[in-house]
Amino acid sequence: MAKTTKELRTICDLASAPDHAAGDRMRQRWWGVNAADSLGATALTTTVARWYCGGCGRSAPAWAPMVPSHTLGLNGLVLACLVASWCCAHTPATAAPRFTTERPHKAVVIGGSISRYYAGSFGQFLQFACRDLEVINLGEVGAGAAKMRRNFHSGVLDGEVGLIRHMPVGHRWLLVQGGLNSVWMPEATSWTLSRLFVDAYDAGFQVVALSLTPWGDDSDPRFEGWSGLRMHRATEHVVDFLMGRLKPAVAFGSRAAGRPGQPSGWLPGELPTIAVNLWASGLRAGPSAPLRPAEPLQDSFDKSAYRRRADAQDDLVAAARAIGRQFLAKKYHSFDPTHPNTAGHKLMAVLTCQKAPAAWSCDCDALRRGEWRAGRVRAPK
């Protein structure tokens, strides 16, 4: 899940802690680096400063990436954290975003840190490929479903400062990609996302929702043993809701009683206008990832959260063994196994483009050829 400000500070504390073993474990968990690895400070500082500062609403200074590339390992991590902290404390907040083109269709991205990716996000790729669509990104690092909904209200629907003032009726679009920061509560996350969709529907928006992406790897303790299956089942629950595969009572659990009239089917606006399945997509590691050993799972079944389902033990063991195949493919890792890199965001945009409305005037072939270069998506040289 996305790193919050508190978690990043924890990493910084551990990076300089006397207990280097603990620091190494935390760095391995979050950054995928060992103490012995050579990690250039330039790339790491750029990543942390831009992503972290973007998440707190500030701009990294122009010199942030200009760090000597020979500074490696622990020094690089400490320097990255120091620069990130300086950015947020001492640089001015960025101006409120605004639409700047004559493109008729206006879209706002609401999400967590994945949507906020700094080096070619799916929103930037879509704006490049769709000549009648302008996109503003209001994603926020660390935002779960509830914070996403609040951000939509404050940044978009607010009658005095919200972007809705500049979004013509009939041309309003909401791009949603998030919920991973609260996915451990799948029913609550599904409910809150649905309330976000209803809010948008009532305000005249059409909603394009991108599902949660594959995430995790074997080094993450959240995916150890049977915990991995529980985590991925929770993620799948939110995906299945978004794709319209669940009945409201299943998607929301007890919260379904709070729906007007409590119908068994879906009410207008509770599901997105367009849903894009990123979970079961080419972002996954797929069959090339090895299966986990069966014996440890079989031996620990009686102590697992699934112990009351002995009749389905074989199927559950098979599913738990295949967890690695649902991870984000390594070629799409950015700074960790949760957040897709530029190539991953490009694929996310391509999958969205394939379902995009004709009114956006998208060229999916141009999108496939597009490149992130010099701070923007451009046509290839």
Q: What are the pLDDT digits (tens) for 214-239?
A: 999 999 999 999 999 999 999 999 99
Please identify every stretch of the chain with a pLDDT value under 70, giving residue numbers as ranges.
1-95
Nearest C-alpha neighbor of 344 from the set 197, 210, 240: 210
pLDDT for 107 equals 99
Identify the pLDDT of residue 83.
56
pLDDT tens digit sequence for 51-98: 444 444 443 433 333 333 333 455 555 555 555 555 544 544 456 799
**pLDDT at residue 43 in the model:** 42
Structural domain spans, the chain: 5-90, 105-378
pLDDT score, position 342: 98
Residue type, 158: D
Q: What is the pLDDT of residue 96?
A: 79
CA-wise closest residue to 168 among 106, 96, 103 = 106
Q: What CATH fold (topology level) applies to the domain 105-378?
A: Rossmann fold (3.40.50)
- Pairwise CA distance, residues 48 & 50, whole Å: 6
Q: Which CB contacts under 8 angstroms, 24+ apart, belong to 43-48? A: 44/76, 44/77, 44/80, 44/335, 45/76, 45/79, 45/80, 45/83, 45/84, 47/80, 47/118, 47/334, 47/335, 48/8, 48/80, 48/81, 48/83, 48/84, 48/335
Alpha helices in the chain (DSSP H): 5-15, 20-31, 41-55, 73-90, 122-129, 145-152, 186-202, 225-242, 248-252, 294-300, 313-321, 342-353, 364-369
Cα separation, 131 vs 362, in Å, equals 6
d(CA 324, CA 149): 31
- In order of 239, 253, 291, 293, the CA distances from 305 in angstroms are 21, 19, 21, 19
Residue 16 three-state SS: coil
Phi and psi at 252, nearest 5°, equal -105, -15
